């Protein structure tokens, strides 16, 4: 029999905890513009490890990384030096290793790419890549928004908690969807943790705005409803509506903000038709974090179940800000994409689309994340935000009032 010294016992205990953590890990995440970012490590081509920041993207089946990260990892990009190639994605082998909180992640079979465009996919969040649905579906996942924690666990290793709903999960893409009920009508919506807000096909939303003219609404996106500013185009014309009640799965969401997205082109698909190309059955759009930030959301991929547990209050100030949408330019500065209109009138005077914002209350925003810019525009209704803008080579000082948009 081997005598266990106190030191040996301590070593044994630490070893067991480490082994356990490798099959079940909980780490903090950052919310920026409602998008979850988590710190991770990736293995370089020489087998050393590099710290990276990944965007949790449950709405995309592809793993992609930025060009700078690819070069830093030592990935050979010689075939991409032709400038014509820069607009495309470059397929690469699955990463040699990715780990979060010390847990090695299984990327086997996950399509991996270097993404050269759009630049703002990385710069607006200051991230290096994403954590796609094809990776998430291999695990039992908990997104705890109030605690800002992500749990990744091996299937069957956690006891679920919260209100259960049966989900439909595409076996290849891993994208989750739940059946929904709006005003007596049945739909299905995907779950997209990578989005900044909840989005629905414009044609579907118009059906309800015409039927219910009293539902609160504005024209033009702002805050986290402002997806990217560049894509989809024409955000300044999108209707943003507060729907009194949406039953999604077995959970009921009250006074939910939803953006109506127009067709990508006159002859192109609707948002629902486009998104349905990666879901198991047709969807009308996707539910994003604005509905979920008061919840602990748990996904049992192996058993096609999702659990909602409300652990915080809804944020009443979600739409209390200066009513403009923005987009990032290649040099890291931000341009006004549109001005929000309510009842046909602009909610802020003196600002025009294409104005470049230099500062908000003396905070210079060039190089900031999109979430940081949105937060600088927030406040209590009636407060003034001082914006310095550049228009036609001249700088102007604008006093913009914070509004309760809807």
Per residue in 341-386, pLDDT tens? 999 999 999 999 999 999 999 999 999 999 999 999 999 999 999 9
Position 13 in a domain: no
- The 3-state DSSP class for residue 6 equals helix
pLDDT for 4 equals: 41
Whose structure tokens read 């010294």?
Answer: 5
From the number of C-beta atoms within 10 Å of its C-beta (0-12, 13-18, 19+), residue 165 rates as: middle
pLDDT tens-place string over residues 92-105: 999 989 999 999 99
* C-alpha closest to that of 338 among 208, 196, 239, 266: 239
266 and 119 in contact (C-beta within 8 Å)?
no
pLDDT for 21 equals: 45
Same domain, 304 and 257: yes
Classify the C-alpha dihedral 300-301-303-309 as positive or negative.
Answer: positive
Termini Cα distance of the chain: 73
Domain that holds residue 29: 18-142
pLDDT for 68 equals: 95
- Residue 191 is encoded by which pair of tokens? 């779950």
Same domain, 133 and 27: yes
pLDDT for 273 equals: 94
Position 391 in a domain: yes
Phi and psi for 395 in degrees, rounded to 5? -100, 135
279 and 170 in contact (C-beta within 8 Å)?
yes
pLDDT for 268 equals: 84
pLDDT for 86 equals: 60
Position 276 in a domain: yes
Number of domains in the chain: 3
- The 3-state DSSP class for residue 303 equals helix
pLDDT for 89 equals: 86
Alpha-carbon span 219 to 102, nearest angstrom:
46
pLDDT for 69 equals: 96
> pTM for the complete prediction?
0.91
pLDDT for 2 equals: 37
Same domain, 115 and 164: no
Position 148 in a domain: no
Same domain, 130 and 41: yes
Same domain, 110 and 188: no
Q: What is the CATH number of the domain that holds 226?
A: 2.40.70.10
pLDDT for 13 equals: 37
Position 355 in a domain: yes
Alpha-carbon span 316 to 207, nearest angstrom:
26
Whose structure tokens read 């959970």?
Answer: 251
Position 83 in a domain: yes
pLDDT tens-place string over residues 197-256: 999 999 999 999 999 999 999 999 999 999 999 987 789 999 999 999 999 999 999 999
Same domain, 167 and 288: yes
Same domain, 118 and 167: no
pLDDT for 26 equals: 97
pLDDT for 208 equals: 95
Give the residues of the chain that fall short of pLDDT 70: 1-22, 82-87
């Amino acid at each position: 029999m081997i005598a266990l010294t106190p030191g040996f016992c301590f070593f044994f205990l630490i070893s067991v905890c480490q082994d356990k953590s490798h099959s079940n890990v909980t780490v903090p995440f950052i919310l920026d513009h409602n998008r979850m970012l988590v710190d991770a490590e990736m293995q370089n081509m020489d087998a050393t490890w590099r710290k990276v920041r990944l965007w949790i993207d449950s709405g995309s089946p592809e793993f992609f990384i930025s060009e700078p990260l690819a070069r830093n990892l030592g990935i050979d990009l010689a075939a991409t030096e032709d400038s014509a190639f820069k607009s495309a994605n470059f397929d690469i082998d699955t990463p040699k290793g990715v780990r979060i909180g010390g847990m090695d992640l299984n990327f086997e079979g996950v399509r991996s790419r270097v993404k050269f465009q759009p630049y703002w996919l990385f710069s607006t969040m200051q991230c290096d890549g994403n954590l796609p649905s094809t990776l998430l579906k291999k695990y039992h996942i908990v997104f705890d928004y109030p605690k800002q924690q992500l749990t990744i666990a091996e299937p069957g290793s956690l006891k679920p908690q919260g209100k259960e709903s049966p989900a439909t999960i595409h076996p290849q893409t891993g994208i989750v969807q739940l059946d929904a009920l709006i005003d007596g009508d049945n739909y299905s919506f995907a779950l997209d943790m990578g989005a900044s807000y909840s989005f629905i096909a414009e044609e579907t939303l118009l059906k309800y705005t015409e039927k219910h003219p009293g539902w609160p609404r504005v024209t033009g996106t702002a805050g986290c409803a402002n997806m990217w500013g560049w894509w989809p185009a024409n955000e300044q014309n999108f209707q943003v509506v507060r729907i009194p009640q949406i039953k999604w799965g077995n959970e009921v969401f009250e006074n939910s903000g939803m953006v109506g997205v127009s067709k990508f082109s006159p002859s192109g698909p609707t948002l629902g038709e486009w998104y349905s190309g990666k879901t198991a059955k047709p969807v009308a759009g996707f539910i994003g974090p604005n509905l979920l930030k008061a919840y602990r959301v748990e996904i049992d991929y192996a058993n096609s179940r999702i659990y909602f547990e409300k652990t915080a209050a809804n944020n009443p100030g979600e739409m209390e800000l200066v009513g403009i949408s923005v987009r990032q330019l290649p040099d890291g500065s931000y341009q006004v994409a549109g001005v929000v209109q309510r009842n046909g009138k602009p909610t802020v005077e003196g600002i025009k689309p294409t104005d470049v914002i230099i500062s908000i209350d003396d905070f210079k925003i060039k190089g900031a994340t999109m979430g940081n810019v949105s937060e600088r525009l927030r406040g209590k209704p009636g407060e003034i935000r001082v914006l310095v803008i550049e228009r036609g080579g001249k700088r102007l000082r604008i006093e913009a009032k914070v509004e309760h948009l809807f």
